[in-house]
Chain A
Amino acid sequence: MKKLLAVIFLLPIYINAVEFLVSPPKLEFDLIRRNIVNDSLIVVNRDSNNITIKCYFKDWGYKNGKKYYTKPGSLSYSASHWITVNPLQFELLPYEKRIIRITLTKPDTVYKGEYRSMIFFETIAKPSSYSNMFMFNARIGVPLYAEMGRKEYIGFIEGIKYNENEIDLLYVNYSYNRLYLNGNYLIINEKNDTIINDSIRNILVLSRDTQNISVDIGNVEKGEYKVMFYIDNGGNEIAGGKKRFVKK
């Protein structure tokens, strides 16, 4: 009886979670020869409570290395106004799955480039008797990319800066499409010994944008070093850069 009472007492603490998934995590469309494309996303409620989900779009980008979201249509290369989603709001029963249809319609006049948007699926929080101070929402953003033009791999290292405990490399993506940077960097001491050899993995640089790659050298002892970068943007050539620095 005591066990039963304990379970009843604890139940309300655990019943109010939000847990859902979206598949796939990203949408990519080729609009070179087509004006309208269709696809679908699957949204699944992974919890034992009903949830209501609303869907909307935002423009997005990176500012100072941080992702930000802004009004649809406010950034160049925005595809937010091209998207139609059906349904825009829906309720999911426990563990229910829903197929969401996505239609992308290209405007008549559009310049070469990779256009993008973020499709958000957000739970609508419901008031509860537990607390009137807070409610919690969970949100999943699915990036959408629409390519208008052949993929290109034009980018370069703009500069390498040394800042006390950090080395910053600035990479410029001059392509009309996003790039994912891979590669590695070496830190070599005065005796020509490599003291750090680490990888650079999958760093996203949006089209016609820049990205900062920071290397933490807080654990490197005082002395004179050189850092060497090798950056592969997926194209035919690998970009290299090096800089000497003195750690004080």
Chain B
Amino acid sequence: MKRTLLFFAVLMFISVSVFATGNAVGVGTASQTMPVNVLIPKIVHIHVDNASHGVTFDFSTMVNYPDFANPFSWWYLPTDPAATPHVDLRVWTNDNDGYTVTAKGDQDFAPELLLSDLYFADAGEAKTANGSAVAGGNWNAFSTVDFTIADENSKTNGFATYNQDYELKIDGDENAGAFNTVTITYTITGK
């Protein structure tokens, strides 16, 4: 009987030792390894805020329109949003080969109010002074061709922010009334 019990005890010990996984049993130091995998997909991401809600230049509420103190051209910031940035633009890619960010518009507001009368710059750019014939600082005119805002040869570190401000050039021949809706497209492409 003792032999049988001893045989079963030895058999159970061997079974536990051989077939147990995920447990370390023993006297003294014991360790168990477990792999930890992290999988991050390659992505490209864009965020455009104020989208659909739009940017408005409401000249009925502007105190300096008309501007009797200066000759044309007159330059105006939007009435809505009134604060910078007028458009939140953020991109993100973890592709090490880099990315390009561009902006374009699709059509003129009217025959006398062209798409190229609308200018954009990185947020915080000072408005062009009224009376100036050309846009100052780093303002660029919109066109139907993509304009490069950024061209980088590496991934972004989290979100890269390219917030934008707008200004509109008025040269006096604009008619009152409604204008065409202009669609602005912001693009990120890989390389």
Contact = CB atoms under 8 A, between A and B. Distances in A.
B174 interface: no
Contacts of A128: 52-54
A21 B90 CA distance: 12
A2 B99 CA distance: 45
Contacts of B95: 24-26
Interface of chain A, helix or strand or loop or mixed? Answer: strand
A133 B81 CA distance: 13
A180 interface: yes
Nearest to A17: B49
B184 A141 contact: no
Nearest to A135: B183
A122 B106 CA distance: 14
Contacts of B148: 66-67
A234 interface: no
Contacts of B188: 139-141
B51 A132 contact: no
B44 A17 contact: no
Contacts of A135: 51-52, 54, 181-184
B184 A132 contact: no
B153 A203 contact: yes
Given A23-B41, A126-B52, 10 more contacts: A16-B53, A22-B43, A25-B93, A67-B102, A134-B54, A139-B188, A141-B189, A142-B190, A180-B97, A203-B153
6 contacts: A16-B53, A26-B42, A133-B109, A134-B183, A136-B54, A141-B189
